[in-house]
Amino acid sequence: MKVFQTKKSLQAYLNESRALNKKIGLVPTMGALHLGHTSLIEQAKHVNDIVVCSIFVNPTQFNDPKDLEKYPRTLEADIALLEDVDCDVLFNPSVEEIYDNNEKWYLDIGDLEFILEGKFRPGHYQGVMQVVYKLFDIVKPANAYFGQKDYQQFLVISKMVDLTRMEIKLTICPIVRESDGLAMSSRNRHLTAYDHELAIVLSRTLNWVKENFYKKSIDALLEEAKLLISSNPNIVFEYFEVVDGLTLKPANHQTEKVVALVAAKVGNTRLIDNILIK
């Protein structure tokens, strides 16, 4: 695996590859990699000649400086995991390599920025779009891969690609779960054993809502879901919504594509999860 820290060196290598008509795929990450990330790389390898994984903990998407500070950084372990799945290229730039001083960014994507995650993390999606736009511009991939766990993020990036007319095919890949159902996340390493056990209620509740989608009204499903998650005082419920999978507006039983999304703080760790209902 080739490792690059600078835009210039990475682009020189990728330009040589493009001259040989090699197709490039990108998997953007913030590191602390797990099997969810490697599943994206494995999917990318099926249709691309060169797969680039970026590891960059992006400061502009954190609205809480403490959250940025404690975000896990495990580069040596990440490199070993990438080598295990035969990733071709790692791009691991510094903050100074990505951002200039006093840099400005704003892209209007409408309500999508302010609902669900956007409501609880103001400014988060502007930061996500800012860094992903930069990575797309540096790597110029034909394809880019994202995990379904960050479902709203995928819609945000799709909207950005449409508005900026970037010619990149985006692929959303299924959630990879622990054997007990907990969605894999870089943040899971902050969970105590007790917190981990509690956190399983998120995926169990999502599955219960899917199983009962046609048996109850959506309002009844939401009320029951909130009660299930809020029943333990060590879980701080944030939201549980059943929405249109294309717009994230409230769904009904006739909505063509339906997704349920949840967010809660378990112990000191904030977790999100979702499930495709139909």
Distance, in Å, from the CA atom of 13 to the CA atom of 75, rounded to the nearest integer, reads: 22
Element (H, E) at 133: helix 124-139
**Contact in structure between 50 and 23 (CB atoms under 8 Å):** yes
C-alpha–C-alpha distance, residues 201 and 198, integer Å: 6
Edge-to-edge, what's the strand order for the sheet holding 235-244? 235-244, 258-266, 269-276
Both tokens of 185, joined, read 């996340």
Residue 54 contacts by C-beta under 8 Å, 6 or more apart in sequence?
26, 27, 28, 29, 90, 91, 92, 93, 135, 139
Active-site residue identified among 37, 124, 196, 253: 37
Catalytic, 34? Answer no
Using CA atoms, how far apart are residues 27 and 184, in angstroms rounded to an integer? 16
Name the region of 223 (left: φ>0; alpha: ψ -120 to 50; beta: rest): alpha
Give the whole-angstrom CA distance, residue 58 versus residue 51: 21
Give the residue numbers marked as catalytic.
37
